[in-house]
Amino acid sequence: MLKRHARAACTALAAAGLLLAGTGGAIADSAPAAPSAAAALRTADAPPELLAAMQRDLGLTPAQAKARLAHEAEAGATAARLRDRLGAAFAGAWVDGADAGTLTVATTRAADTAAIRATGARAKLVTRTLAGLDADRAVLDRAAGAATPVRYVDPRSNTLVVEETEAGAAAALLAATGTDPAGVTVVRTAEAPRPLYDLRGGDAYYMNGSGRCSVGFPVTKGAVNGFATAGHCGRAGTTTSGFNQVAQGSFQASVFPGNDMAWVAASTQWTATPYVKGSGGANVQVTGSVLQPVGASVCRSGSTTGWHCGTIQQHNTSVTYPEGTISGVTRTTVCAEPGDSGGSYISGSQAQGVTSGGSGNCSGGGTTFFQPLNPILSAYGLTLKVSGSDPGPGPGPGDPEPGGTWKAGTVYAAGATVTYGGSAYRCLQGHQAQTGWEPPNVPALWQRV
């Protein structure tokens, strides 16, 4: 948790040619007329600034950067379908390769490997389920202290990873909780993460005229404009001023520790925009909030260090800061420094989360964690500000509404079920619903059941 005091995301790949366009047994919703995941997530619209930062920070060629965004979108959709199909045997998924062209899906059931390969993905047979490893992590969370600050499931090694700042700290934690060390990898770390203390994503704002943090993502709640940010930046009632030191608004709700989420309501002088501040101050468009898979590229915008990119390492990580433990954050290789807290993480044009904390810096490199955005939107009833929404082939003027329980603006988690047009659908990838993303239109996000 790094406090900063005041003054101190292409040309689309042809859908038929995508390596990861397998449907994993998808039914009628995956008819050729339906858009690919890359089309649904508009990866072809990635701005030059985002592509340039990916090239700089990930060592990519221009073609690799464009291909990577498309491959990541298809991989996320394929992995989500397989997770739904494999059920309890699912043991995680990740992408590899400079252009993220290889998707691997792990399972504990040998009979699943043929179905995985049929989608174009690689299959890996392992001994531990993702759910089982997550349950072990939750046990450790309740007993972890500052000497074992980070705990997460690594699907590649099929183990639970515990980072320790002191020799023997992880072993003591495992012994105290009765956790089998055979399923645990211990990593020694020299630096413990700390929250990155310190209406466009990445711009600075100031709390009570002193501390500085960064705007996460502009949102609306009814007629009110505001933004999502990190909970450790302020408590309910904390007043804020903008990057220009003009009075801005106040924190309406905040949670930290436990989670690291908050939202600020702005005065009528401030208008929410569908942008994140990119390289050189250019606007990067936000078109949705589909969480991307492990291994995917992600870029961060913050008021101290600006625009930097890296990859997603693990989801659902637990971190113990000096102030307490937060769970459900995502671990990344993106660097950050004090004052970047609360700022935006975006993959392509999909909002991912807000900066929580980390270690290292942007000179020597580091590790950071973001609080996923969808839980913030859901918890506070917020609507992400997005640009270029395509209404899709929905009802025309005078046509009857299809009806059902699906509703634009609702945040749906993977596994949630809705009805639409007389059919039932199961959510494959968590996201906030929007016009144009009705279940029949986006098989990357919904499977008919």
Predicted pLDDT at 195: 80
Among all chains, which residue has been given the structure tokens 């989500």? Answer: 80
Nearest-angstrom CA–CA distance, 200 and 202? 6
Predicted pLDDT at 92: 98
Among all chains, which residue has been given the structure tokens 């009805």? Answer: 419
In this structure, what are the phi and psi dihedrals at residue 223, rounded to the nearest 5 degrees? -90, 0
Exposed, middle or buried by CB within 10 Å (0-12, 13-18, 19+), for 209? Answer: exposed
pLDDT digits (tens), the chain, 449 positions: 544 443 333 333 333 232 333 333 333 344 455 789 999 999 999 999 899 999 999 999 999 999 999 999 999 999 999 999 999 999 999 999 999 999 999 999 999 999 999 999 999 999 999 999 999 999 999 999 999 999 999 999 999 999 999 999 999 999 999 999 999 999 999 888 888 664 999 999 999 877 999 999 999 999 999 999 999 999 999 999 999 999 999 999 999 999 999 999 999 999 999 999 999 899 999 999 999 999 999 999 999 999 999 999 999 999 999 999 999 999 999 999 999 999 999 999 999 999 999 999 999 999 999 999 999 999 999 999 999 644 344 444 444 457 799 999 999 999 999 999 999 999 999 999 999 999 999 999 999 99
Among all chains, which residue has been given the structure tokens 């936000």? Answer: 286
**Residue 232 annotated to the active site:** yes
Predicted pLDDT at 197: 60
Element (H, E) at 369: strand 365-372
**Residue 341 annotated to the active site:** yes
Predicted pLDDT at 209: 73
Predicted pLDDT at 24: 35
Longest dimension (CA), the chain: 70
**Residue 260 annotated to the active site:** yes
Instruction: Please answer whether residues 420 and 449 qualify as being in contact, where contact means their C-beta atoms are separated by less than 8 angstroms.
Output: no
Element (H, E) at 78: helix 62-86
Nearest-angstrom CA–CA distance, 134 and 117? 25
Q: Which amino acid, residue 1? A: M
Rg over CA atoms, the chain:
21
**DSSP single-letter state for residue 339:** T
Among the options 71, 232, 308, 431, which is catalytic?
232
Instruction: Please answer whether residues 197 and 181 qualify as being in contact, where contact means their C-beta atoms are separated by less than 8 angstroms.
Output: no
Instruction: Please answer whether residues 251 and 240 qualify as being in contact, where contact means their C-beta atoms are separated by less than 8 angstroms.
Output: yes
How large is the angle between the packed helices 130-141 and 169-177, nearest 10 degrees? Answer: 100
Using CA atoms, how far residue 282 sits from 42, 48, 203, 215, 354, in Å, is: 19, 10, 12, 15, 19
Using CA atoms, how far residue 370 sits from 181, 216, 292, 314, in Å, is: 28, 10, 13, 11
Nearest-angstrom CA–CA distance, 206 and 262? 15
Listing DSSP states for 209-262 in one string gives TTEEEE--EEEEETTEEEEEE-GGG--TT-EEE-TTS-EEEEEEEEE-SBS-EE
Predicted pLDDT at 402: 76
Of 195, 340, 200, the C-alpha closest to 260 is 195
Of 446, 445, 384, the C-alpha closest to 41 is 445
Work out whether the CA dihedral 158, 164, 168, 169 comes out positive or negative: negative
Predicted pLDDT at 191: 83
Give the CA count within 13 Å in the CB-facing half-sphere of 35: 23
Helix, strand, or coil (residue 381) = coil
The torsion of the CA quartet 335, 282, 391, 82, rounded to 10 degrees, works out to -20
Residues whose CB falls within 8 Å of the CB of residue 253, separated by 6 or more in sequence, listed in order: 236, 262, 263, 379, 380
Instruction: Give the burial string for 187-204 (b: 16+ CB within 10 Å, else e).
Output: eeeeebbbbbbbbbbbbb
Of 322, 265, 333, the C-alpha closest to 297 is 333
Among the options 260, 308, 347, 356, which is catalytic?
260
Predicted pLDDT at 3: 41
Among the options 341, 349, 356, 359, which is catalytic?
341
Instruction: Please answer whether residues 82 and 121 qualify as being in contact, where contact means their C-beta atoms are separated by less than 8 angstroms.
Output: yes
Strand partners, 30: none
In this structure, what are the phi and psi dihedrals at residue 70, rounded to the nearest 5 degrees? -65, -45
Strand partners, 433: none
